[in-house]
Amino acid sequence: MATGRLTIDLDALVANWRFMAEKSGKARTAAVVKADAYGTGLETSATALAGAGCGTFFVAVPDEAIRLKAALPGVTVYVLSGVFNSDSAAAVAQCGARPVLNSLAQIEIWGRHCRAVLKNLPCAIHADTGMNRLGLTAQEALVFGRVNGRAAIVSPDLLMSHLACADDPAHPMSGQQLESFQQVRAVFPGVDSSLANSAGVFLGPDFHFDLTRPGIALYGGAAVNGVPNPMRPVVTAEARILQVRHARAGEAVSYGATQVLARDSRIAIAGTGYADGFHRASSGAGAPLRDAVAKGGLGWLAGHRVPILGRVTMDLTLFDVTDVPEQALEGADWIELFGPNIALDEAAQAAGTIGYELLTSLGARYERHILQG
């Protein structure tokens, strides 16, 4: 029996996708389901989204594409890492996915495979417009677009780029990237275009083009900084209470004796730790880089926000439940780590990280429960 559980609300996931589809206006809305659908389960989450009308998905690596196409053979799947040798090209093609080609070398690999099988297989072209991560440079994309228009080296059905700073609506880089993308787009006539990630959808119609690619927003994370998050929480993480103990003022808790109790306290020991992806940086005291985090993390128990005490350990985390009425505590088995009462992004901020990392770090020891209908 597990000491941690995840409840994954597929109805909330679908509602979030529909919300993003509405915000995307006339553009089609895909779903980014890489990293096991941000820890929610690739096949389960993608099947729910496909049932709601999502027909296009983005994954990170070929193995994810193979899994997804086996579960949903009728959907369109793009592989963001592209192809890196003949074997990966064959694997992507065999499962019916489409590579996102990120360099001239990848274009050559895919083109060579297409010539070998005598088929003009679809792909996407990724133009880097300022992030300096994957993608052809804007200049390479401009030249290639013109050459490919004459020689048909590959058969792209999508041109894409990725926004670096869209989570800050006032950041000038988004406008610069938009301008660069529009220039590249001009040399790929008849090819659909995609620029907006989750945050990009909120930048408005100029960024939507033909296809938007929400990711974190689908799973309940905040896409834009400094504004209320309109997305519904999808994942609730909880830890089982293994023991409640009493400790006196002046006594220390957890490794390193980094936190000394200021009052007589009740402590709930919960069965989760950094081996489960619950970050050590969430510790109540004694965490590394504490200057980057204002305070330690919180849990939720019986209507109360309960602070973490001392260091998060490999398998156990201590919570101060002194203010929880004893009667409520006696009937409580689980502490919420994040979910409807402790927002994902609040929990991530307490650990000095982001919701993306927290979701995708959740380990295999959590028992997973699916809510739907």
Q: What is the pLDDT of residues 16-50, one digit of tens each?
A: 999 999 999 999 999 999 999 999 999 999 999 99
Angle, vertex CA 126, rays to CA 121 and CA 131, nearest 5 = 165
Give the start-to-end residue ranges of the domains of the chain: 25-213, 235-371
| CA distances (Å), origin 360, targets 40, 41, 195, 278, 290 | 8, 10, 23, 11, 22
Report domain 25-213's class.
Answer: alpha beta
What percentage of the chain carries pLDDT values higher than 90? 92
Length of the chain: 373
- Average model confidence (pLDDT) across the chain: 96
- The overall pTM is greater than 0.85: yes
Task: Tell me which architecture the domain covering 235-371 has in CATH.
Answer: Beta Barrel (2.40)
Per-residue confidence band for 284, with pLDDT thresholds at 50, 70 and 90:
confident
Question: In this structure, what token pair is assigned to residue 362?
Answer: 């959740």
Q: Which parts of the chain fold into alpha helices (H)?
A: 10-23, 34-39, 42-51, 62-71, 86-95, 104-117, 138-151, 172-185, 198-201, 326-330, 344-350, 355-361
Count how many Cα atoms sit within 13 Å of the Cα of residue 342 in the half-sphere of its side chain: 24
Q: What is the pLDDT of residues 172-225, one digit of tens each?
A: 999 999 999 999 999 999 999 999 999 999 999 999 999 999 999 999 999 999
Q: What residues are labeled active site? A: 34, 255
pLDDT at 292 over 50: no
Give 291 or 347, the one with higher predicted confidence: 347
* Residue indicated by tokens 């941690």: 4
pLDDT at 288 over 80: no
pLDDT value, residue 293: 47
